[in-house]
Copies of this chain bind each other. A is one copy, B any other.
Amino acid sequence: MSRVAGYYTHEQQGEHEYADLGAFVLRSGYTLSGARLAYRTHGTLNAARDNAVLFPHMYSGTPSSLDRHIGPGLPLDPERYFVICPGQLGGGMSSSPSNTPAPFDRGQFPPVSIVDDVVAQHRLVTEHLGIERLHAVLGWSMGAQQTYEWAVRFPAMVPRAAAFAGTARTPVHNQVFIDLHLELLRSDPAFAGGFYADAADVRLGLARHALAFSLLGFTPEWYRGEHWRRLGFASVDDFRQGFVRAWFAPMDPNNLVSQATKWRDADLSAHGNGSLPVALGRISTHFFVVPFGGDQFFPVADCEEDAGHMPHGELRVIDTPAGHFAMFGLLDEDTRRIHAVMAEMLSS
């Protein structure tokens, strides 16, 4: 078994369950036969079936990436809530380039979208789990993009929501970043258009790709103030290699490409006939917009605009030198503030 096949397994990612989606027609027009959605749950659905919280994950994550934000004593307490963490299409646990047979394997996995994720998650929640209304939806980054899509697509099911470090439409500057990191990943000759035999062969591409995240996943202040020292690293290079590069190293490049292209195309304005303010204006959810100050992917200014267009939008800015990656749980004070907003949202 290859190193990468090992990464997207229960040994590495913890226990997951799976919902069969059958022949799932994607927004791109392709039919993904035998599609399935992975999910990981915490806690128990109560008898009234009204304590479910949906928590989709970010780029390069899996459902277990969110474990740190769920637990006894935390706002997302499994004693109280039934937390459902669905795996993104393309994320490695759900149907993805790395686990789909020909003719949709590897470099020929069809394009997937945030809408596909949310439609699949809706089937999981309603058909598989028998839940008619969620207590809340929340997410970070691409998880935030899915949260927006949930709120506008299934308004009756989402009374409250929180989008951490994400916007309703990917900012153009962020799209330039995505172009850049995809170029880095694909620049490795071993990538071979996605038809490599073993993901580990594309280690140069994965390392180059990580460089882009060392640059913009954090803030200038992260480096200026040497905040990486608090993670126990001895130098900037030590941090970049030991944290950022190491995070991405075991992943499947095609899975990353699948997610990144989805991230790039996120755009809620389709719900407003091309107008983002109109789309956001339709959201009846009590919606907490939580940008991280200094986030270079989803700037505070864009998040402010999103919040301003929603009838029940609320802005909570969390300033941090960690920037976008604050939700990795890097600095305890950030995590506390993130959890405080979660608590506020869950009880609103």
Q: Name A's B-contacting residues (CB within 8 A).
A: 171-177, 179-180, 183-184, 187, 189, 208, 211-212, 214-216, 218-224, 236, 240, 296, 299, 301-302
Contacts and interface: CB of A to CB of B under 8 A. Distances in A.
A224 B183 contact: no
Given A187-B187, A187-B208, A208-B187, A224 B180 contact: no
Contacts of A236: 172, 175-176
A186 B344 CA distance: 49
B177 A224 contact: no
A307 to B, nearest CB: 16
A321 to B, nearest CB: 11
B211 A179 contact: yes
Query: Interface SS of chain A: helix, strand, loop or mixed?
Result: helix
B211 A173 contact: no
Contact of A301 (B211, B212, B221, B296): B221
Given A172-B236, A176-B223, 14 more contacts: A172-B223, A172-B224, A173-B222, A173-B223, A174-B220, A175-B236, A176-B214, A176-B236, A180-B212, A183-B208, A187-B187, A215-B216, A220-B296, A221-B301
Question: What 7 A-B pairs have minimum CB-CB distances, sorted nearest first?
Answer: A172-B223, A173-B220, A173-B223, A187-B187, A176-B215, A220-B299, A180-B211
11 contacts: A171-B223, A172-B223, A172-B224, A172-B236, A173-B215, A177-B215, A183-B211, A184-B184, A187-B208, A189-B189, A224-B301
Nearest to A177: B215
A214 B183 CA distance: 13
Contacts of A179: 211
A299 B171 CA distance: 21
B299 A180 contact: no
A32 to B, nearest CB: 30
A186 to B, nearest CB: 10
A222 B299 CA distance: 13
A215 B172 contact: no
Contacts of A221: 301
Nearest to A211: B180
A172 to B, nearest CB: 4
A216 B211 CA distance: 14
Nearest to A188: B187
A246 B30 CA distance: 37
A180 B245 CA distance: 13
Contacts of A176: 211, 214-215, 223, 236, 240
A176 B212 CA distance: 9
Nearest to A218: B173
Contacts of A174: 220
A113 B179 CA distance: 32
